[in-house]
Structure 1
Amino acid sequence: MTTVNDLLNLLILEKVDDCKFNGVSETVGSPVVFGGQVLAQAVNAASRTITNQRVLHSLHAYFLEAGNLNTSITYTVNKVRDGGSFSVRRVTAIQNEVPIFILAASFHKAEEGYDHQIEMKSNLKQPEDLLSWTDMLKKWGDILPKDLKAFFEINRPIEFKPTEIVNPFDRKNLPPYSDVWFKLKGDINGLNLSKKQQVLTYISDYNLLISALNPHAKIADWTNTLTASLDHSMWFFREFDFSDWLLFSMESPSASRARGFARGNIFTRDGKLIASVAQEGLMRPLN
């Protein structure tokens, strides 16, 4: 995948009936299905059963089994409730008759109410002054660790620019924070809010656990630690578009018992908070 159109083709599922949909997978460099893909495809399935113009405001999901990249995924939607203001859907993703993922999603009618938000970090480096993953590959590809180089070589429909570049050869513990700018590649015109939320859901599973690994970087990295998303929650607050860079600001309050917890906020460049994310992931040291 190289553009947002490729990503949308992946996320928009084949309809089997009113509550059942099929999807295929694309690798992001891992031997199993990327969690963000399953999340976003499940949101696509749930959204396809909403006929009253309600908008997704929250989702909560559990990853049950690793997905097989070479096997299609069937998403079955249960219409849990259509109330006066909210509609709730439950989605189960199945491969080879085995549930690999479950999602609960809630949709809300348009209403007016109170409005406040936290502030975005100030004095962050701007995207124009930073290197992207693609830039890092071009600049340091010959000396990068082979696993990191292979990860950067995967074509993606998103460009990522971390505000701080960590030297993989400088083994030292880091603060439990991470800030990454991101932007879609290709033509982003004509995306409705539902499609934008699905794309944002896909992106939200990138980078989160970095903040949980940072405090252990002296001894831990992606090659000696088994990592996997265990659960994922997301809340959508405000309308947005992908015409400019967005900031994913992440932190990890805790890691213990082979699990790391991370949460993050997604802002527009001018500081509007559009979504928040929380995730616990497996962080199992390998012998």
Structure 2
Amino acid sequence: MTTNPAEKLVDLLDLEQIEVNIFRGRSPQESLQRVFGGQVAGQALVAAGRTTSGDHPVHSLHAYFLRPGRPGVPIVYQVERVRDGRSFTTRRVVAVQHGRTIFNLTASFHKPEPGFEHQLPMRQAVPDPDDLPNVAEEVREHLGGLPEALERMARRQPFDIRYVDRLRWTPDEISGAEPRSAVWMRAVGPLGDDPLVHTCALTYASDMTLLDAVRIPIEPLWGPRGFDMASLDHAMWFHRPFRADEWFLYDQESPIATGGRGLARGRIYDREGRLLVSVVQEGLFRPHDRAHTATA
């Protein structure tokens, strides 16, 4: 039986092909109210990639979360082969559960070619990940131990997450905080050598902490949550090859939150400071007293 969370993630991304353009993904039975959005996005990208020749790596995706998925229920991914060109390939994916569309994604694949280069530099004076506690250690230190539910979550977590800035817990620490966050991340074990698996694993990870930047000025990230929170849409641009089982810095900021929605942007760098991926996501934030009487 597979027990390593990284191996479980690889298994989760290994979809069953049930027709030429139709795939089925597992959805683990967990205590969450909805399927984790990063899982659906990662599996949808796997489905899209498995219908290409493999010599065109993915360079971008644009996705919408339409309905919450139910844990424990398989998800079917239907792929439309929109275009197969010499330089670009395009796929559209619809994720279906119980006959209803819960998610859709458009992915573009580009055959590598030469060109000029520039990039925004990585933030300065970032602590090395080896000098930082992982998030479970930091929460455990503050609480004097982890509740059993969080301990189980930590054991299942496929990514090691280390916040560059220590977590804030008190109103004084939160007051005046800028809507910015940065974490070092990497898979907790090897993910193999398939580049598509690494791309889809990072897509999974990209949904884990991005909306932190929206919440930082409002409430502790690991304290009681005053909002029902859900991802609305997600976009990624993949600039360079990478491995998701090696450390990468996920630098995140929120330029605006208004009207019940918060926008977050992320830049993902390797340890050498090369920009690997750009991410943008909008999330829904509803106070709990409204969340139970309204749906997205």
- What's the TM-score once normalised by structure 1's chain length? 0.92
Shift of 1:139: 2.8
Structure 1, 10-19 or 146-155: larger mean CA deviation? 146-155
1:33 maps to 2:35: yes
Aligned to 2:157: 156
Deviations 1:226-256 (A, max 9, x none): 1000000000000122453110000000000
Shift of 1:31: 2.0
Provide the aligned C-alpha RMSD in A. 2.3
Shift of 1:14: 0.5
Q: Is the 1:264–1:278 Cα contact (8 Å) retained in structure 2?
A: yes
- The 1:283–1:151 alpha-carbon spacing in structure 2 relative to 1, beyond 3 Å, is farther
- The 1:68–1:152 alpha-carbon spacing in structure 2 relative to 1, beyond 3 Å, is closer
- The 1:222–1:251 alpha-carbon spacing in structure 2 relative to 1, beyond 3 Å, is farther
Aligned to 2:102: 100
Q: Is the 1:58–1:234 Cα contact (8 Å) retained in structure 2?
A: yes
1:182 maps to 2:185: yes
Distance 1:214 1:147 in 2: 25
Q: Is the 1:134–1:152 Cα contact (8 Å) retained in structure 2?
A: no
Aligned to 1:82: 84
- The 1:118–1:28 alpha-carbon spacing in structure 2 relative to 1, beyond 3 Å, is farther
Q: Is the 2:65–2:102 Cα contact (8 Å) retained in structure 1?
A: yes
- The 1:205–1:28 alpha-carbon spacing in structure 2 relative to 1, beyond 3 Å, is farther
Q: Is the 1:28–1:34 Cα contact (8 Å) retained in structure 2?
A: no
Aligned to 1:212: 214
SS of 1:216's partner is: coil
Look up the equivalent residue of 2:106 and give its one-letter code.
A
Question: What are the ranges of 5 or more consecutive residues in structure 1 without an aligned counterpart?
Answer: none
Aligned to 1:268: 270
Look up the equivalent residue of 1:14 and give its one-letter code.
E
- The 1:104–1:63 alpha-carbon spacing in structure 2 relative to 1, beyond 3 Å, is same
Structure 1 segment 185-200 matched on structure 2, within 5 A: 185-188=188-191, 190-200=192-202
Shift of 1:92: 0.2
Question: What are the ranges of 5 or more consecutive residues in structure 2 without an aligned counterpart?
Answer: 290-296
Task: Say which of 190, 201, 204 aligns to 1:202.
Answer: 204
Task: Say which of 126, 129, 134 aligns to 2:128.
Answer: 126
Distance 2:129 2:54 in 1: 38
Distance 1:28 1:180 in 2: 25
Q: Is the 2:254–2:265 Cα contact (8 Å) retained in structure 1?
A: yes
SS of 2:156's partner is: coil
Shift of 1:71: 0.9
Distance 2:248 2:66 in 1: 30
Deviations 1:75-115 (A, max 9, x none): 00000111231111000000000000000000011211111
Q: Is the 2:232–2:282 Cα contact (8 Å) retained in structure 1?
A: yes
Look up the equivalent residue of 1:206 and give its one-letter code.
M
Aligned to 1:111: 113
Shift of 1:215: 2.1
- The 1:239–1:56 alpha-carbon spacing in structure 2 relative to 1, beyond 3 Å, is same
SS of 1:262's partner is: strand
Deviations 1:2-45 (A, max 9, x none): 43221010011001011000011236763210000000000000
Q: Is the 1:137–1:152 Cα contact (8 Å) retained in structure 2?
A: no
SS of 2:199's partner is: helix
Aligned to 2:256: 254
Distance 1:147 1:209 in 2: 25
Aligned to 2:167: 166
Equivalent pairs counted in the alignment come to 285
Aligned to 2:75: 73
Aligned to 1:224: 226
Q: Is the 1:29–1:154 Cα contact (8 Å) retained in structure 2?
A: no
Look up the equivalent residue of 2:216 and give its one-letter code.
N
